[in-house]
Amino acid sequence: MSGNTLHQKLPLLDRDHSILAFNERVMDWARRADVPLLERLRYLSIVSSNLDEFFEVRVAPHLTAARANEQRGPFTSLSYEQLSDKVHSLVAQQYAIYNDELLPLLEKKGIKLISHGERNPRQRRWVKEFFIKEVQPLLMPVGLDPAHPFPQVANKSLNFIVRLTGRDAFGRENEIAIVKVPRILPRFFRMPPVKGSKQTHFVSISSLIRSHLNDLFPGRQVTEFSQFRVTRHSDLAVDEEEVKNLRTALRKGLQQRHYGQALRLEVSAGCSVHLSNFLLEQFALTERALYRVPGPVNLVRLNQLIDQVEAPALRFESYSAGWPAQLTPGQSYFERLRQGDVLIHQPFESFDAVLGFLREAVEDPDVLAIKQTIYRTGAKSELMNLLREAVRRGKEVTAVVELKARFDEEANINYAERLESVGAQVVYGVVGLKTHAKMLLVTRREATGLRRYAHLSTGNYNPGTARLYTDLSYLTADDALTADLEQIFLHLASQNRLPKLNKALIAPFHLHKAMLDKVEAAGAAAKAGLDARIVLKMNALTDEPMARALAVASQQGVKIDLIVRGACILPAQVPGFTDNVHVRSVIGRLLEHSRVFYFRTGEVEELWLSSADWMNRNMLRRIELAWPVTDSALRHRIIDECLQAYLHDTKDAWLLRPDGNYVPAGANGNGRGRITLHSAQASLMALYGSKG
């Protein structure tokens, strides 16, 4: 079969359904009996957070197509119906796990969410007093009439809709009122302990308010009510070619983000048809967009309850990352890097070493300049404080700040302004392209002249996520690679033409074509009778040309293993198309985030690390970086820890079937038994965890 025929006939998997399949795999952790109980609850909240983002970012074009009754193209009425059916099924599974499994198990452990009907008189008195003192003063019910139209309801906010009998103070029969619940109010409150009882009781804000809705409408009677929550389109769209100041334009856009197009309406399972239809009409939504849930409308906020429970036995055993094996505490980073490159495998090894590298650069009087890309750094960033300190110490500091890092825009705008206020040079990359590459370049005066040192990473400069995401940090003083980084920073600041680079590959200029060329070269080698192998680890594979190139290489005899955590549009082991392709997804305690690309043709092997997934946006609409690992010891270590270990994972891995469904890697061929289970993450945590 020719490559062209294959391109025409190979059916790729749907990206959005693949994203939802990923969330099914995450939800499996909420079912697993070997996972601590509070962690199971947390995984359930993670699925809710992921679904929120799915609606905020992915659903709008499907809904728009459904309203226009589109029948052709990538977004149609049918695509919206199919996605809606899948999400409704996922949500039903979520709440079944929550109500039928987790809440009963928590109660057995002495942790109980007390509803109004279950409270004893003492608890009811406490709830009433708490409501009057702490909650009621912050609530402002709005009765709807021509002078009080339906209020603006913010994205993902908690609200109540109420139906009333009787007349208002002016003798009118306006029967509908809306009660907004301020975000400042916690969603769960810990109740005073009962003397002699070891149980821990909580009350939810929705239960607390619903118990006292009548108190908000004196002289009238509440006959129907429901909590509700609307999810809106939240992907900021700013025409960078048309704005004079991107930062100012984004600030204005952020103000409107909370009130974008309504996409989903969540209400209580018992909400009357009258009230749900009223809300659907207000938000211009159809019945398919309505989600009736038997519990809190926002399971993301379960994290607040989890954090208040004092039960270490119901959580993961704490893990303390070890100091990087290649670094000696107290030794100068610059001295160590002159001896060779250093790899840090996070979070098994500590991210503190990366901050230590920057801290030494800030404090070293011989360091003249620091250049860094900023994508996500976290709310309270020591890294940003270090850059400000570097400016105060007279160093030249250049920060390439990505203002359009989704849902981190406001934090990055604030950081940019703080850096500018002390005199740092702040630039926002290239118009129309997100700067997603992770680079830190230090220029130091030494006896032999100026020398550069660098940190490159597959992840973000965020100490918080660095404890939860698996990533690779790479420290180097390699002259050719650091010279490339100097040119890339110059390009981002000046937007001059990028010269030919020594080692690095950059998107959108070289990376896409280079990876396609490597796949095609492996295919040509296999066709010529040479041993050819491709192993790729990434978060997502959704770029069609790259997926089809892998399929062609598979047909030419290349053995291909893909370790793809999230969405993957390339079906595995489809007879006649992808017989040599195996796809696995590893969902573990930690979020898999590193990107590693391995190619072997005959006796020649290459290993690349990258900030980029194999997605169209990463390859063609972002500034992304990939760099080769040429040190043989480091290359073997990465292959062992990031590729081989995960290819042998049978505990946390899922295998993609030709039909697009995933099955646990630990299930045997007939599905009736299990094999010996091995977790790559658990092994690495045991290997590198702090022994102190």
Lowest-confidence region among 111-125, 191-205, 677-691? 191-205
CA atoms within 13 A on the CB side of 563: 26
Amino acid letter at 89? S
Q: Is the pLDDT of residue 184 over 90?
A: yes
Beta pairing, strands 469-476 & 591-592: parallel
Q: Is the pLDDT of residue 145 over 80?
A: no
Q: Are the beta carbons of 131 and 215 closer than 8 angstroms?
A: yes
Give the mean pLDDT of the chain.
89
Q: Where are the alpha helices (DSSP H) in 364-478?
A: 382-392, 409-421
**Could you count the other beta carbons within 10 Å of the beta carbon of residue 304?**
16
Q: Is the pLDDT of residue 464 over 50?
A: yes
Selection from 32, 63, 30, 448 nearest residue 232 by Cα: 63
> Using CA atoms, how far apart are residues 509 and 60, in angstroms rounded to an integer?
30
**Section 451-466 average pLDDT:** 91
**Section 661-677 average pLDDT:** 71
Confidence (pLDDT) at 241: 43
Lowest-confidence region among 106-110, 257-261, 278-282? 257-261
pLDDT tens for 32-60 read: 999 999 999 999 999 999 999 999 999 99
Confidence (pLDDT) at 240: 42
pLDDT tens for 585-639 read: 999 999 999 999 999 999 999 999 999 999 998 898 888 999 999 999 999 999 9
Confidence (pLDDT) at 382: 84
Confidence (pLDDT) at 692: 47
Confidence (pLDDT) at 248: 54
Percent of the chain with pLDDT over 70: 90
> Using CA atoms, how far apart are residues 229 and 266, in angstroms rounded to an integer?
5
DSSP output for 95-120: HHIIIIIIHHHHHHTTEEE--GGG--
Residue owning tokens 């810990």: 190
pLDDT tens for 309-354 read: 989 999 999 999 999 999 999 999 999 999 999 999 999 999 999 9
Selection from 366, 474, 374, 355 nearest residue 417 by Cα: 374
> 404 falls in which pLDDT band (50, 70, 90)?
low
Q: Is the pLDDT of residue 195 over 80?
A: no
Selection from 463, 500, 290 nearest residue 379 by Cα: 463
pLDDT tens for 515-541 read: 999 999 999 999 999 999 999 999 999
Confidence (pLDDT) at 50: 94
According to DSSP, residue 4 is labeled: H
Tell me if the bond preceding 571 is cis, omega within 30° of 0: no
> Using CA atoms, how far apart are residues 247 and 114, in angstroms rounded to an integer?
46
> Using CA atoms, how far apart are residues 186 and 189, in angstroms rounded to an integer?
7
pLDDT tens for 277-297 read: 999 999 999 999 999 999 999
Identify the active-site residue in 62, 201, 233, 436: 436
User: Could you tell me which residue, 578 or 402, shows the higher pLDDT?
Assistant: 578
Same fold, 333-501 and 507-688: yes
**Section 403-432 average pLDDT:** 69
> Using CA atoms, how far apart are residues 374 and 364, in angstroms rounded to an integer?
22
> 488 falls in which pLDDT band (50, 70, 90)?
very high
Selection from 180, 197, 225, 227 nearest residue 123 by Cα: 197
Q: What is the CA radius of gyration of the chain?
A: 27
Cα 647 to chain centroid, rounded: 23
Q: Are the beta carbons of 646 and 537 closer than 8 angstroms?
A: yes
Cα Dmax for the chain: 89
Q: Is the pLDDT of residue 249 over 50?
A: no
Q: Is the pLDDT of residue 496 over 90?
A: no
Q: Is the pLDDT of residue 688 over 50?
A: yes
The token duo for 488 is: 């890339």
CATH code, residues 15-58+87-314: 3.30.1840.10
Percent of the chain with pLDDT over 90: 73
User: Could you tell me which residue, 677 or 90, shows the higher pLDDT?
Assistant: 90
Helix (H, G, I), strand (E, B) or coil at 630: coil
> 430 falls in which pLDDT band (50, 70, 90)?
low
Lowest-confidence region among 37-46, 246-255, 476-485, 519-528? 246-255
Confidence (pLDDT) at 238: 42
According to DSSP, residue 609 is labeled: E
Q: Can you state the percent helix, strand and coil of the chain, rounding each to 5?
A: 40, 25, 40
Q: Is the pLDDT of residue 362 over 50?
A: yes
Burial class of residue 687, CB neighbours in 10 A (0-12, 13-18, 19+): middle
> Using CA atoms, how far apart are residues 188 and 9, in angstroms rounded to an integer?
53
Q: Which CATH number fits domain 333-501: 3.30.9.10, 3.40.50.720, 3.30.870.10, 3.30.70.1140?
A: 3.30.870.10
**Section 251-270 average pLDDT:** 77
> 424 falls in which pLDDT band (50, 70, 90)?
confident
Asked if 455 is an active-site residue, the reply is: no
Burial class of residue 319, CB neighbours in 10 A (0-12, 13-18, 19+): middle
Q: How many residues does the chain have?
A: 692
> 242 falls in which pLDDT band (50, 70, 90)?
very low
* CATH H superfamily, domain 507-688: Endonuclease Chain A (3.30.870.10)
Cα 292 to chain centroid, rounded: 26
Listed by start position, the domains of the chain span 15-58+87-314, 333-501, 507-688
